[in-house]
Structure 1
Amino acid sequence: MTAPVTAILLAGARPVPDPLALAAGVPVKPLAPVAGRPMIDYPARALLDHAAIAQLVILTQRPDLYAADPATAWLATHPRVRFETGGQGIASSLLALMEGEGLTYPVLLTTADHVLLDGAMLDQFVAEAAGADVAVALVERRTLLARYPQSRRTWLKFRDGWWSGANIFWFGSDKAKRMIALWQEVEQDRKKGWKILAAFGPVALFGALLRLLTLRGGIARVGRKFGLAARLVAMDKAEACIDADKPEDMTLIEAILRSERPEA
């Protein structure tokens, strides 16, 4: 049985104003309404409703904004929720949090714009990530396009398919800090897949470019390089990689929330 999981929900702000926040007239993107509720409300409730999650840590530069908003004030008083103040960088904020006290492993990390996160996704991810030092959730392109053919994502191409991130990560032990330190180095280039691969060495970079590596094997190999067990979790649900990043994402997400079979 998996040990009680600490969930971290990233709810920070970008260094520059976010277009979705500006359009909604709210100070930070996680407070932007989706189908009448702040987007952070959806993943927060999904995490707290899941049996594996023991506590929820919300990492943000402005905890006061959530306590002041009537729609999210419940988070500030919930007995299993605590706010931690982060800086501008995700990786540096995580490392600071992990170096402090009161954070127990395993840790599941996701984002406040993961509006469609649900119990089925958490069931699969926790079950398949358990036992790893680091795990990352991804969705293969065929899984997404079979259900939402017009959805546009950032894809990394490997021998075992085209993959897009699902913004769910697993840190099973203190060893995960080794990978987060590398994440810190390439954080500004996280949308540029080849730069991230280059950080793992020429074998990973050219292997991916020549389609010599599977992503599953590549993640495991990188993990071994850092002395830890790393794992890919291929998510079954296409919705796992649809986050609220652009206006068209918001339109699709609201359609999904309204109907089990939206026109995408």
Structure 2
Amino acid sequence: MTFNALVLAGSRGGVDPLADYAGVADKAMIEIAGRTMLARVVDALRRAGAARILVAWSSPTVRDHALSLDVEVIAAAGGPSASAALGLERLGAPLLVTTADHALLEPEWIAAFLGAVPPQADVAVLLARRDVVEAAVPETRRTYLRFSDGGWSGCNLFWLATPRAVGAIALWRQVEDDRKRPWRIVRRLGPLLLFRYLAGRLSLASALAHIGALAGVRAAMVPSAFGLAAVDVDKPADLDLVRRLVARR
């Protein structure tokens, strides 16, 4: 299938520890086996069938590099959620959203994700179970959301299926704005939801249904059969791991 895609390649400003570790100015410009992470993501999207690819940039260096890859560009907003809103406004729904640090991204993961999204969903997210991730790459260290039906890791792939997805982006932005004030997030999502989560009594499906209702959307989760889909490049250890994995190929 063909689709449009947004790649989030912005930054929060200041010195990025990962970029500094790699000896470059911008995270998206980190090279793995001679190709930048951004180029790898764009290539995977194209091979998966992306018709239009939009890159949200913060640095002119990233913008110029994106243009050299023959994609569209847009200046990133104040955070990922605001950039996603701009991308949705520019390209419309449906829209696949991913990140420039998803350096291992494969077309097969995208095809499997989009093929499994329920037809009634306004938004969908790809997640991988902890056992699937650890079976594929036992040396990785990920952050897992612990639900009653197991631990899950994000895979940096989001499907904004309908125009109603703006509601999910709006809730995302509110939570993003409150990231330094956790009590506001608790108040927004509801203390009962947090209590059930901390007590290990909240299932992933229940959490998605609750959050979807708050955002006024029908939210869905697609489980990934590919554990590597959960491996992005957030810190130096991730970069070292991904470089080893690519070298093995």
TM-score, normalization by structure 1:
0.85
CA contact (8 A) 1:133 1:228 kept: yes
Q: Which runs of 5+ in 1 are unaligned?
A: none
> Which has the bigger relative contact order, CA under 8 A and spacing at least 6?
2
Amino acid at match of 2:39: D
Which position in structure 2 is the counterpart of 1:66? 62
Identity over aligned residues, as a percent?
36
Matched residue SS, 1:87:
coil
- How far apart in 2 are the matches of 1:217 and 1:193? 21
Confirm whether residue 171 of structure 1 aligns to residue 168 of structure 2: no
Equivalent positions of 1:162-241 (< 5 A) are: 162-187=151-176, 199-241=188-230
Quote how far apart the aligned CAs of 1:248 are: 1.3
Summarize deviations over 1:16-56 as a string: whole Å, max 9, x none.
211221233322110011122111111110001112x2210
Task: Name the CA shift for 1:191/1:139 in 2 (closer, same or farther; >3 Å).
Answer: farther
Amino acid at match of 2:203: T
Alignment of 1:43-82 (within 5 A): 43-51=41-49, 53-62=50-59, 64-66=60-62, 68-69=64-65, 74-75=68-69, 78=70, 81-82=71-72
Unaligned 5+ residue runs, structure 2? none
SS of match in other structure, 1:114: coil
- In the alignment, the residues of structure 2 paired with residue 215 and residue 148 of structure 1 have an alpha-carbon distance, to the nearest angstrom, of 23
Q: Is the 8 A contact 2:92 2:163 kept in 1?
A: no
Q: TM-score, normalised by structure 2?
A: 0.90
How many positions carry a matched residue from both structures?
248
Change (3 A) 1:68 1:54: closer
1:126 counterpart letter in structure 2: L
What CA RMSD, in Å, does the superposition of the two structures yield over aligned residues?
Answer: 2.4
Kindly provide the CA deviation profile for residues 47-85 of structure 1, in whole angstroms up to 9, marking residues without a partner as x.
01112x2210101123x313545xx5532xx2xx20011
Question: Which AA in structure 1 matches 2:34?
Answer: G
Q: Is the 8 A contact 2:8 2:83 kept in 1?
A: no
1:154 and 1:191 in contact (8 A); partners too: no
Determine the structure 1 residue equivalent to 2:115.
127
Of 133, 136, 139, the match for 1:144: 133
Q: Give, in angstroms, the shift of residue 236 of structure 1.
A: 0.8
Does structure 1 retain, via aligned residues, the 8 Å contact 2:101–2:233?
yes
Distance 2:128 2:185 in 1: 18
* Bigger proportion of residues as helix: 2
Deviation at 1:211, TM superposition (A): 1.9
